[in-house]
């Protein structure tokens, strides 16, 4: 006996996609469809719900192979536009981290630092077709005698460029405030003293993992929108924490699940991979990700019908509690409240600002919807789902 009234398989949905008959809606559109028709009817009507998110995601970067030189080189230290890349791989393979600042950056020596250029900016420049200066030094071996390399490269010159992001798409995140007496500069932005502003960072009802909160469809091998191209979920992300406190609708009220994703950088675009500078904190990278959710049954319809009012997060003090591991919060708020521009903390009205672009998240969900509707993008069955405990 099947426990659901509506039962579809990914193969059936793919057949409908190929036939141009699949009904695809964005996660925002699904909210109204489920509200009006109920989850069961919505599950009959809709085949795929598309999600999206576009915000800074520090744990992102790229494995680049820059091709051999004559004579050959085993690069031991490598810089791209003066941003150090990790070279402890094979001869001309490197990993460039999105959050790596340029080597001559003054950092926080004059506080708060500006952090104008880093690994994320290098990747954005490569995607924009710009030339990037590659420098490498080596100690020289019999098989790799060259000890120095300096040349301008473009993305087209690289034999391989693979985006590898160990942690993207955090399922929920803290709302940050500062209860100290002076302004602080954090990865959650600039926070004024005495709780005068609050910053948050989630696409809310559009966010990929908020629409499959218990990881019933997303897993290793799920095909996704990544940086404007197609990529894959390749593992659960680092710090994946399925055990976080949850509401009855399945959504977590704390940072919870995460995704590790990979994709061919050469398919991506500078519109969806952007270098980011966060005052006083560092350089990082904004990544656009969208995940399609197959509506296999009424449970998935109910999950994807979740609205900003149904998702909550905690308000955390970043002046002391966060940095000292104090597990305390100053209340819980819904994303509907956060998006209204004002929340109440300790009885006071506090102005809120997002760090995650809803406009771009919506655009990603719309692009993914078009890809699927046109028959170009079918769903992949994951080989293993994300751990749910």
Which residue lies nearer to another protein by CB, 286 or 300? 286
Q: How many residues bind another protein (CB under 8 A)?
A: 33
CB of 191 to another protein, least distance (A): 9
Catalytic pick from 58, 143, 169, 201?
143
40 touches another protein (CB under 8 A)? no
Does residue 341 belong to the site contacting another protein (CB under 8 A)?
A: yes
Q: Does 266 bind another protein (CB under 8 A)?
A: no
The region of 52-60, 64-72, 130-138, 148-156 touching another protein under the rule CB under 8 A is 52-60
Considering only 92, 122, 184, 355, the residue that binds another protein (CB under 8 A) is: 355
Short-list 121, 31, 86, 106, CA closest to 309 = 31
| Cα atoms in the 13 Å half-sphere on the side-chain side of 90 | 7
Output phi, psi for 70, to 5 deg.
Answer: -120, 120
Residues 6+ apart with CB under 8 A from 226: 163, 232, 261, 262, 263, 268, 287, 288, 289
234 counts as binding another protein under rule CB under 8 A: no
CB nearer to another protein: give 177 or 233. 177
- Examine residue 199 and tell whether it contacts another protein (CB under 8 A): yes
Based on the shown chain and the rule CB under 8 A, indicate whether residue 373 belongs to the binding site for another protein.
no
3-state secondary structure 56-121: ECCCCEEEEECCCCCCCECCCEEEECCEEEECCCCCCEEEEECCCECCCCCCCCCCCCCCCCEHHH
| Residue number with CB closer to another protein (323 or 340) | 340
With CB under 8 A as the contact rule, the residue among 275, 290, 292, 294 that binds another protein is 275
Q: Which is nearer to another protein, 344 or 388 (CB)?
A: 344
Assigned token pair, 75? 């690069």
Tokens linked to 295: 């509506």
Q: How many CB atoms lie within 10 A of CB 374?
A: 10
Among 216, 274, 302, 369, interactor with another protein by CB under 8 A: 274
Nearest to 171 by CA among 284, 305, 57, 263: 57
Binding part of the chain for another protein, among 19-27, 138-146, 258-266, 273-281 by CB under 8 A, reads 273-281
* One of 356, 368, 371, 386 touching another protein (CB under 8 A): 356
User: In this structure, what token pair is assigned to residue 6?
Assistant: 């509506």
CA-based torsion, 361, 37, 210, 352: positive or negative = positive
Determine which residue in the list 18, 328, 351, 384 makes contact with another protein, applying CB under 8 A. 351
Q: How far is the CB of 296 from another protein (least distance, A)?
A: 30
Alpha-carbon span 268 to 221, nearest angstrom: 19
Is residue 54 close enough to count as binding another protein by CB under 8 A?
yes
Q: Which is nearer to another protein, 171 or 352 (CB)?
A: 352
Cβ proximity to another protein, 54 vs 79, nearer residue: 54
Q: Note if 143 is an active site residue.
A: yes
Span 137-196, contacts to another protein by CB under 8 A: 189-190, 192
Please give the order of strands across the beta sheet that includes 312-317: 332-334, 312-317, 175-177, 197-200, 348-354, 342-345
The answer to whether 353 contacts another protein (rule: CB under 8 A) is yes
50 strand-pairing partners? 26, 292
Nearer of residues 56 and 290 to another protein, judged by Cβ: 56
Q: Are 121 and 101 in contact (CB under 8 A)?
A: no
Contact positions vs another protein (CB under 8 A): 54-56, 112, 114, 116, 189-190, 192, 197-199, 274-279, 286, 339-341, 351-360, 362
Residues acting as catalytic residues: 143
């Amino acid at each position: 006996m099947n426990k659901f009234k509506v039962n579809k398989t990914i193969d059936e949905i793919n057949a409908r996609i190929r036939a141009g008959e699949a009904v695809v809606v964005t996660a925002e559109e699904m909210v109204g469809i489920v509200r009006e028709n109920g989850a069961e009817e919505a599950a009959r009507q809709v085949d795929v719900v598309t999600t999206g998110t576009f915000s800074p995601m520090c744990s992102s970067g790229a494995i680049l192979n820059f091709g051999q030189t004559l004579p050959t080189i085993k690069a031991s230290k490598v810089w791209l536009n003066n941003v150090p890349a990790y070279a402890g791989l094979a001869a001309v393979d490197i990993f460039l981290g999105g959050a790596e600042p340029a080597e001559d950056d003054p950092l926080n020596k004059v506080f708060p630092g500006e952090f104008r250029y880093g690994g994320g900016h290098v990747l954005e420049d490569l995607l924009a077709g710009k030339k990037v200066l590659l420098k490498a030094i080596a100690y020289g071996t019999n098989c790799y005698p060259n000890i120095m390399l300096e040349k301008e490269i473009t993305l087209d010159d690289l034999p391989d460029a693979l985006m590898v992001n160990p942690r993207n798409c955090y399922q929920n995140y803290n709302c940050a405030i500062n209860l100290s007496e002076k302004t602080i500069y954090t990865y959650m932005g600039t926070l004024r003293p005495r709780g005068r502003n609050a910053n948050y960072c989630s696409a809310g009802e559009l966010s990929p993992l908020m629409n499959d909160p218990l990881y019933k469809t997303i897993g290793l091998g799920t095909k996704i929108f990544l940086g404007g191209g197609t990529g894959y979920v390749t593992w659960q992300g680092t710090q994946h924490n399925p055990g976080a406190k949850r509401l009855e609708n399945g959504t977590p009220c704390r940072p919870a699940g995460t995704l590790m994703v990979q994709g061919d950088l050469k398919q991506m675009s500078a519109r969806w991979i952007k270098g980011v500078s966060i005052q006083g904190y560092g350089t990082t990278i904004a990544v656009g990700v969208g995940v399609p959710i197959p509506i296999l049954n009424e449970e998935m319809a109910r999950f994807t019908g979740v609205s900003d009012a149904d998702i909550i997060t905690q308000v955390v003090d970043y002046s002391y509690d966060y940095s000292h591991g104090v597990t305390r919060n100053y209340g819980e708020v819904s994303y509907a409240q956060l998006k209204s521009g004002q929340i109440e903390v300790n009885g006071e009205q506090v102005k809120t600002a997002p760090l995650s672009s809803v406009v771009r998240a919506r655009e990603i969900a719309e692009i993914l919807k078009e890809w699927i509707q046109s028959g170009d993008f079918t769903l992949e069955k994951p080989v293993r789902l994300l751990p749910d405990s």
